[in-house]
Structure 1
Amino acid sequence: MTAQRYLNMLLIWMLLLLYGCSATSVVVTPTPSPVATNLNLQGIKEYLLTQTDALVTAATQLQTASDRYYELAQSVNFDYARLWQDRRNDTIAAINAAREAWMIASPIYEKMEGIVAGTPSLAQFDVDLDAGAAGDEDPENAVSFDLVLPDGRILPKPGNLFGVTESTLWGTETAFASQVKADWNEDGTIEFGETLPDANVLKAGADLLVKMARELDTSARAWTPTESDAFTALVVMVPTMSEYFASWRDSRFVLGEASTQRDFNVISRLADIQDILSGLEVVYAQIRSRIETVDPDQAAQIANGLRNLKAFVADIYAQERSGRRFTPEEADTLGAEAQNLATAITGQISQMAGVLGINLAE
């Protein structure tokens, strides 16, 4: 669990203590029966496996395109100036194919991130695939791996694999790029994405992404979701809005050319948030009947809250897609509003877990 998500959990527990200490805030609900239930959570697993299977397919397509680019670079002994001069069209085709596969793979992962990151037995995959930092930037929240390149170089804890492959493909991390200026459209200006990746970094990143996607699929197939898993995933992942909005604020979608953030510049975090919430709605749908046994009104309020939060983000995204450029200050304000909505929802879910006697994983 990242430090930010730990703080979110701490905040929720503090809110619950406040609810318990305030006579005007107490919600009286029936004492739960200690008898075990036969709640069927298979829908969560089926949803997860649909996504892991799709991720393996998309990641393999990324690997195939990355291998093609590697072979082109290898054919000229990794002389990128010569590669650009002699094999320009083939090079652009290979990079574009890799980018297209990446843009398919990334949203697939976001759709299951709420489950993966919110489930203790699966959470390390989220760190290494999508959320983990580089070791030299944030050691506490760094990925668990070093990236071993085909040429023998080792990149110690380079950051999460979607971030590594994105920043390599679009040139937002200079250490992952060749130093050749590649004017793709020959207009005399080097624009965003006009880059030649370091073929060794791209191949290593794509290869490891496929390996981890397969390992995640295997772990997901062996996993049997419990009520604790479902409630924990919701309590951990719903109140992450400030984290995601901060990433959006610092990206090219808000700052444009002034952004120094190396990832989350190709697909808006606003789109990612909607995908994450979609997965969390699947989780909640599986446990809603359990909450309805003690408080039907609360169950409906939580469902409406999740739906309203997703709609709030969707509206901002629609404005962005129509051409509006939000300021960093506006992004912070919107992020605070989203966080307030999410915190309220999480408080309700946590309260219901307590009423039902369901332990939340720490």
Structure 2
Amino acid sequence: MTRKFARPALSLLAIPALAATLLTGCGGDDSGSDPDQPDAGLTAVKSYLTEHTSDLVNRTAAMKTAGDAYYDLAKASGFNYAKLLKSDCKAVNATLTDAKNAFVKANPAYEEMEGIVAGIPRTAQYDTDLDAGSDASDPENAVSFNLTLPDGKVMKQPGNLFFLIETSLYGTNDDLTVKGVEPDVNCNGKVEFGEGLPDANIFKASVDEMDSQAKDLNKDADEIVITPSDAFTAITVMTPTMSEYFEQWKLSAFVAGAGEQSEQGFVATSRLSDIADILTGIDFTYDEIEPLIAAKNPDQAEQTASELSKLLSTSEDLRDREAAGQKFTPRQADLLGAEMQARAERIAGQVTQAAKDLDIEIQES
């Protein structure tokens, strides 16, 4: 696999010293430290996080620009979408294509850091609002925000932002798209799967909110100190989520077939790609705590690293095979999900035990 950041390089002699340093603030004796020099925490993971939050801000800004342009076109037509498509179809297509291009770049920018953002309790609300939260019908898992539309209407806890934007752009959510108008947005005389004509008021409010939340996440990421406890917690929380992801993949158009899917999301990008991206971030996070585990139990540290690397490699192989044209059946999706979940749970158990051995807290959500 390709890594944006190099694996932390450490000599064997440096490992005990690193372990002592990482344990500072987690129950170790820090009497010799300079109180005026705050602990920098896990700097490689912090850099990985902030590079991705900065990238996400750039992508959401592009989505906002496209959303504003689309809204202006719709407003100029008096929100008469049939008239708009007849008179300015190419302009509509251009703005929505720009939005789609920004979306497919924003997706991996977020997914590659989701294991960190969602896995650390003090940043997990961002994951709920951006990528994982439900609407108000599921209060326990609902997003925290309401959308105030340009026309003054309010959508209370409408669901996560990636879902709102994707399903409106790709036409899989009738609640978010224009009714009574054929969404031939590419102007070729026929409506194809993946074409959507978003309600401009809802779409603008959605991309505005996403841009705002991405900026807030970026600011918080710049200020956060990521501790060993954060890293251990993120890995144990986010690794054993494979069965849920594979179920979503099974129900999506990539497995069920275009137009036959019951899952409205995961149209622009396969859930297999998301799984590989999420595991990339988890694997990178483990890289920085592996020396800490190795100082206590080198064999276990190496075993966990190997199993996590193989889990990631399997997910990348599945992603690449699908991208090359291989079709998977729902039965295969179930079997693969069960296998990957079992492997992920074993890894999470090993990391949980390592945290216990090192007296490092696994935080409660």
Query: Is the 2:54–2:218 Cα contact (8 Å) retained in structure 1?
Result: yes
Show the counterpart of 1:150: 150
Partner deviation per Cα, 1:287-314 (whole Å, 9 max, x = no partner):
1110011111111111111110011112
CA distance in 2, matches of 1:82, 1:279: 46
1:281 to 2:274 alignment: no
Query: Is the 2:52–2:110 Cα contact (8 Å) retained in structure 1?
Result: yes
CA distance in 1, matches of 2:41, 2:189: 60
Name the amino acid aligned to 2:269: I
Moved over 6 A (4+): none
Which secondary structure does the structure 1 equivalent of 2:356 belong to? helix
Mean Cα displacement is larger for which, 64-73 or 189-198?
189-198
Partner deviation per Cα, 1:219-246 (whole Å, 9 max, x = no partner):
1112111111110000000111111111
Show the counterpart of 2:28: 35
Partner deviation per Cα, 1:228-270 (whole Å, 9 max, x = no partner):
1110000000111111111111111111121122211210111
Query: Is the 2:92–2:185 Cα contact (8 Å) retained in structure 1?
Result: no
Q: 1:298 is matched with which residue: 300, 313, 326?
A: 300
CA distance in 2, matches of 1:65, 1:321: 27
Show the counterpart of 2:5: none
Which secondary structure does the structure 2 equivalent of 1:147 belong to? strand
Partner deviation per Cα, 1:11-39 (whole Å, 9 max, x = no partner):
xxxxxxxxxxxxxxxxxxxxx99634889
Show the counterpart of 2:354: 352
| Alignment map for 1:160-309 (pairs within 5 Å) | 160-179=160-179, 180-184=181-185, 189-256=190-257, 257-309=259-311
Q: 2:325 is matched with which residue: 323, 345, 350?
A: 323
CA distance in 1, matches of 2:195, 2:342: 39
Show the counterpart of 2:316: 314
- Structure 1 pair 204/292, CA: closer, same or farther in 2 (3 Å)? same
1:108 to 2:101 alignment: no
Which secondary structure does the structure 1 equivalent of 2:175 belong to? helix
Show the counterpart of 1:336: 338
Partner deviation per Cα, 1:159-180 (whole Å, 9 max, x = no partner):
1001100011111111111121
Query: Is the 2:41–2:228 Cα contact (8 Å) retained in structure 1?
Result: no
Mean Cα displacement is larger for which, 324-333 or 339-348?
324-333
Query: Is the 2:90–2:187 Cα contact (8 Å) retained in structure 1?
Result: no
Show the counterpart of 1:12: none
Which secondary structure does the structure 2 equivalent of 1:200 belong to? helix
Mean Cα displacement is larger for which, 258-267 or 243-252?
258-267
Show the counterpart of 2:19: none
Please, which runs of 5 or more residues in structure 1 have no aligned partner?
1-31
CA distance in 2, matches of 1:235, 1:315: 23
Shift of 1:281: 1.4
CA distance in 1, matches of 2:301, 2:90: 56
Count of equivalent residues? 330
Name the amino acid aligned to 1:262: Q
Show the counterpart of 2:122: 121
| Alignment map for 1:2-151 (pairs within 5 Å) | 35-36=28-29, 41-136=42-137, 138-151=138-151
CA distance in 1, matches of 2:288, 2:41: 7
Shift of 1:184: 4.3
CA distance in 2, matches of 1:101, 1:359: 38
CA distance in 2, matches of 1:41, 1:92: 44
Query: Is the 1:118–1:234 Cα contact (8 Å) retained in structure 2?
Result: yes
Scaled by the length of structure 1, the TM-score of the pair is 0.88
CA distance in 1, matches of 2:136, 2:117: 22
Query: Is the 2:169–2:195 Cα contact (8 Å) retained in structure 1?
Result: no
RMSD of the alignment, in Å?
1.7
CA distance in 2, matches of 1:317, 1:271: 6
Name the amino acid aligned to 2:160: N
Scaled by the length of structure 2, the TM-score of the pair is 0.87
Query: Is the 1:39–1:290 Cα contact (8 Å) retained in structure 2?
Result: no
CA distance in 2, matches of 1:161, 1:34: 39
Shift of 1:156: 1.5
Please, which runs of 5 or more residues in structure 2 have no aligned partner?
1-22, 31-38
Greater fraction of residues in helix: 1
- Structure 1 pair 264/36, CA: closer, same or farther in 2 (3 Å)? farther
- Structure 1 pair 176/125, CA: closer, same or farther in 2 (3 Å)? same
CA distance in 1, matches of 2:99, 2:155: 21
Shift of 1:188: 5.4
CA distance in 2, matches of 1:359, 1:275: 26
